[in-house]
Amino acid sequence: MCGRYKLAVSEDELIEHVRLEYDIENLIPELSLPRYNIAPGQKVLAIVNDGTKNRLGYLTWGFPIGKPDEPHALINAKAETIEEKPSFASALKNHRCVILANGFYEWKRTDHGKIPMHVSLKTGEIFAFAGIWAPYWNAQGQKEYGCAIITTTPNEVMEPIHHRMPVILPKEKRAAWLMKASATPIHSKDYLTPYDASSMVAFEVSNYVNAAANDDEGCVIPRT
């Protein structure tokens, strides 16, 4: 699964990235960066396509399931079954998104308990989780939007850590992923696959990251 990640970049770095990679010039007013410990239920920076252009905005991390008291309980969607569940299948066709990150955390089970691991690209650059989104109405009757990160089987880097990993989209697949199915039909098996392990790196970090309230550089200090 994927239950915690980071987008530890400056606003200038993000602005440059979305301009070059997604042709986005108009940004939302408050970016609140850097973030070192993004957790479920929080607002996450994501990109959607409105049919003519890409747009950057905030989604709530958690896919709506239709229950007023638990609107965004599903934080992940399995690639292998995403086309079988009606709500996920509809989003896969019409409400795809990318969620921006430059690292994520997973907890490795050992004989001495769970050890948090930080995983990223070797370059440290911003990458794109494959995601889906859907609207929901909050307790105040206001329309909001929730999302889930799609997961798949692990690559060679992730296999010793966990039996799942988030889908990271290669650059050449991002544009087609963002388009609606009517414009760009996709086959999930071509997109929802493990990322190239040779481009990734993982290392142990301290238990400091376990608390979602800890959102600073301490989350990525290697364990000693």
13 catalytic per annotation? no
The whole-chain average pLDDT of the chain stands at: 91
Instruction: Check 13, 70, 83, 106 and give the catalytic one.
Output: 106
Q: What angle do CA 186, 132, 13 make, to 5 degrees?
A: 100
106 catalytic per annotation? yes
Domain 5-104+124-194 homologous superfamily, CATH: SOS response associated peptidase-like (3.90.1680.10)
Q: Residue 80's pLDDT band (boundaries 50, 70, 90)?
A: very high
Cβ(102)–Cβ(17) below 8 Å: no
SS3 for the chain is CCCCEEECCCHHHHHHHHHHHHCCCCCCCCCCCCEEEECCCCEEEEEEECCCCEEEEEEEECECCCCCCCCCCECEEECCCCCCCHHHHHHHHHCEEEEEECEEEEEEEECCEEEEEEEEECCCCCEEEEEEEEEEECCCCCEEEEEEEEEECCCCCCCCCCCCEECECCHHHHHHHHCCCCCCCCCHHHHCCCCCHHHEEEEEECHHHHCCCCCCHHHHCECC
Q: What is the pLDDT of residues 48-57, one digit of tens each?
A: 999 889 999 9
Q: What is the pLDDT of residues 147-196, one digit of tens each?
A: 999 999 999 999 999 999 999 999 999 999 998 766 566 777 789 999 99
For residues 23-52, give the mean pLDDT: 91
Instruction: Check 2, 97, 147, 219 and give the catalytic one.
Output: 2
